[in-house]
Amino acid sequence: MKTPPPSPPAAPLRPDLSAIADLVETGWRVLDLGCGDGALLEFLRDRKAVRGRGIELSEKGMLACVRRGLSVRQGNLQEGLADYPDQSFDAVILSQTLPFLDDPAMVLNEMLRVGRTAIVSFSNWGHWRCRLELLFTGRIPIAVDLPQQWHESPRRQLFSVTDFARFCRQIDIRIDRQVYMNHGIQIRTGRFKNLLSTTAVFTLRRSN
């Protein structure tokens, strides 16, 4: 009997997902909102013994998650959190999805209701290249780490690291840990995080 060929190595995680994985502790209970093809949940399950669940809207993403053997439900994440009791998870993850939400304050508050920690990643339109493109071309810039034309679906709202920090203060959410990236590489930004980072990853907690 022939030995089956070895499975191909898993594709590397997207840089912001890798940064998120570093913020998740071994054995945590994790809910991934808008989990896509399930690459992050699979990584956390296999490498960190995480008990993970996901919510994904697209049928393509759902099928990919099923093939990975993941526990994922199909649905709109802006409506799907009501079914979960308070503090059901150690962390709730929202990667590159925040700009597409109609009510981000509600979703972030729900994330911190069902989880002890919320972890979010998003592209930063305050980066210097975005500023220069708008200044010299008069055109809305494209995010460096997640290119998409303004007219493509799904439509999103542009914001910067500074916008998000101010928003969190307004809704009484505390930014706990911060990771800044430039073209997929983690960087030290000092006071110039809004100018130098192309993507940010934050962990969030209740202010009180």
d(CA 24, CA 46): 13
The predicted structure's pLDDT at residue 7:
40
Query: How many CA within 13 A on the CB side of residue 6?
Result: 3
DSSP state of 13: P
- Write the CB contacts of 108 (distance below 8 Å, at least 6 apart in sequence): 118, 120, 168, 171, 173, 204
pTM value surpassing 0.85 = yes
Using alpha carbons only, what angle is made at residue 123 by residues 80 and 119, rounded to the nearest 5 degrees?
45
Please indicate, yes or no, if residue 165 is contained in any of the structural domains: yes
Please indicate, yes or no, if residue 132 is contained in any of the structural domains: yes
Q: Which segments in the chain show pLDDT lower than 50? A: 1, 3-8
Kindly tell me the burial class for residue 67, based on how many C-beta atoms sit within 10 Å of its own C-beta (0-12, 13-18, 19 or more). exposed
Please indicate, yes or no, if residue 6 is contained in any of the structural domains: no
- Write the CB contacts of 172 (distance below 8 Å, at least 6 apart in sequence): 206, 207, 208
Please indicate, yes or no, if residue 7 is contained in any of the structural domains: no
Number of domains in the chain: 1
Please indicate, yes or no, if residue 8 is contained in any of the structural domains: no
CATH of the domain at 80: 3.40.50.150
Which residues form the domain of 117?
15-206
The predicted structure's pLDDT at residue 144:
63
Kindly tell me the burial class for residue 31, based on how many C-beta atoms sit within 10 Å of its own C-beta (0-12, 13-18, 19 or more). buried
- Spatial contact of 113 and 86, defined as CB atoms under 8 Å apart: yes
Please indicate, yes or no, if residue 158 is contained in any of the structural domains: yes
Please indicate, yes or no, if residue 10 is contained in any of the structural domains: no
Q: What is the pLDDT of residues 101-160, one digit of tens each?
A: 889 999 999 999 999 999 999 999 999 988 998 888 888 777 666 667 666 666 678 899
Please indicate, yes or no, if residue 90 is contained in any of the structural domains: yes
Judged by DSSP in three states, 199 sits in strand
Judged by DSSP in three states, 41 sits in helix
The predicted structure's pLDDT at residue 56:
93
The predicted structure's pLDDT at residue 153:
63
The predicted structure's pLDDT at residue 5:
47
